[in-house]
Amino acid sequence: MRKLHLLSIVSLVFLGTQALAQSVDIQKAYTKEIKKLSSEQQIEKAFRTIEELEEQSMSDLIMLTEIEAPPFKETKRAEKFKEMLTEAGADRVWIDAEGNVLALRRGTKGERTIALDAHLDTVFPEGTDVKVKFKGDTLYAPGIGDDTRGLIVVLTTLRAIEAAEIETEADLLFVGTVGEEGLGDLRGVRHIFEAGEVKIDSWIGIDGGAIGRVNNKGLGSKRYKAIFKGPGGHSWGAFGLANPHHAIGKAISYFTEEATEFTSSGARTSFNVGRMGGGTSVNSIPFESWMEVDMRSVSPERLDEIDKIFKSTMNRALEDYNKGVKKGAPLTLELVPIGFRPSGEIAATEALVQRAMAATEFFDVEPRLTRGSTNSNIPISLGIPAITLGRGGAGGNAHSLDEWWMNVNGAEAIKLTLLITVAEAGLDKSRTIKKR
């Protein structure tokens, strides 16, 4: 066991997700495995191919970025990505019922399947100007880094594996997922595991910034829209009718009091009333009052508990408020789930995590085990080894119109991804050249 020393715990922020770096133990066996694998002829050839493909990878990045992929409307980009994976040489490429693109490349044993994923969707609505603009070497466009560059990492990994005629023991599944962002709520990856068209044994997601990130922990969240409704009326003439705003005030007070107490100790858990609305004018009793609430926890049990606190305080506030209503109909309450991302953790001793750390170190970058809210949350919550890696290069302003990405050593992230993927799938050296 070797100990990597980190100067201190460093806080890193990825796309609004807090990730906490940890000191890391890498077992010697994995350091050796990665070193040996990287010196294999086919891997060296694949690495050269990645370098040779740099120009094409850049022009493909621009082309894909300029095909808009708003939430729930990823079809056009999915069709193109499917075409690209087919050309790259996968055995079977298809789009599933949810809209995900899947490309299967068979292994020589085929007893296991290793998935390599990036997400197709962006946070930007239909009609956003997605034309790539250049300032020197910097490329500006909404979605260029998050996660279009991730798609290029996935695609180029397949191209390089094909060019180097690498045969893996396990099957490889190259994936472009829909619905990762926001209200998409991981619907793509969720469908893949629920439908079970392909049984996946390891999941490698590409999302997030520079290389070094080995995200092995999922930050779980639950989100609701709470809607209090009543008859509404004139503020003077109908005075005495139930007022949903007054009730929601009570509800927030009950909830935040109990939730503050609950989160003041134990595994880190948070809550937030993020948006509120309703009402038509200052002199009207509103017929509706709504709020959106986000709760997060590193622990699945505590996430369930704060969820219970939320629901019970909402209902108690409704009952207590309605007790005082003397005129007209009582208020009703609707709790609409608008997001659920499970939490969980893959042990740092797990082979996939170890391989990712050893490979990262092989590229002279210090690996950081992080917690985040990505596609990996789903397999992690199911106990399936899963990590999310950075897409490489330099970038910034994700989720904003002036998002940028620059190809600073971008090829390295692809080589790293390829090395981890082949290590996890097992290189079959007995069948170096095979006609496909």
Residue ranges binding Zn ion (CB under 5 A): 146-147, 207
Q: Which is nearer to Zn ion, 286 or 372 (CB)?
A: 372
Cβ atoms of 104 and 173 within 8 Å: the answer is yes
Q: Which is nearer to Zn ion, 288 or 403 (CB)?
A: 403
Q: Minimum Å distance from CB 207 to Zn ion?
A: 4
Question: Strand, helix or coil at 247?
Answer: helix
Cβ atoms of 384 and 192 within 8 Å: the answer is no
Q: Which is nearer to Zn ion, 175 or 358 (CB)?
A: 175
Q: Minimum Å distance from CB 396 to Zn ion?
A: 14
User: For 420, left (φ over 0), alpha (ψ -120 to 50), or beta?
Assistant: alpha
Q: Minimum Å distance from CB 304 to Zn ion?
A: 26
Reading the block at residue 265, the tokens are 């100790």
Q: Minimum Å distance from CB 137 to Zn ion?
A: 23
Q: Minimum Å distance from CB 64 to Zn ion?
A: 14
Q: Which is nearer to Zn ion, 105 or 190 (CB)?
A: 190
CA-CA distances (angstroms) from residue 393 to 150, 389, 414?
11, 12, 10
- Interacting residues of 161 by C-beta distance below 8 A, sequence separation 6+: 46, 105, 168, 172, 418, 422
Q: Which is nearer to Zn ion, 184 or 232 (CB)?
A: 184
Listed residue (363, 383, 232, 258) closest to 313, CA to CA: 258
Write down the residue that tokens 């209200």 correspond to. 183
In 282-356, DSSP assigns E strands to 284-285, 288-297, 332-341, 344-345
Q: Minimum Å distance from CB 147 to Zn ion?
A: 4
Q: 111: which DSSP letter?
A: S
d(CA 146, CA 125): 15
Q: Minimum Å distance from CB 224 to Zn ion?
A: 23
Q: Which is nearer to Zn ion, 207 or 403 (CB)?
A: 207
Angle, alpha carbons 311-372-115 (nearest 5°): 110
Q: Which is nearer to Zn ion, 177 or 297 (CB)?
A: 177
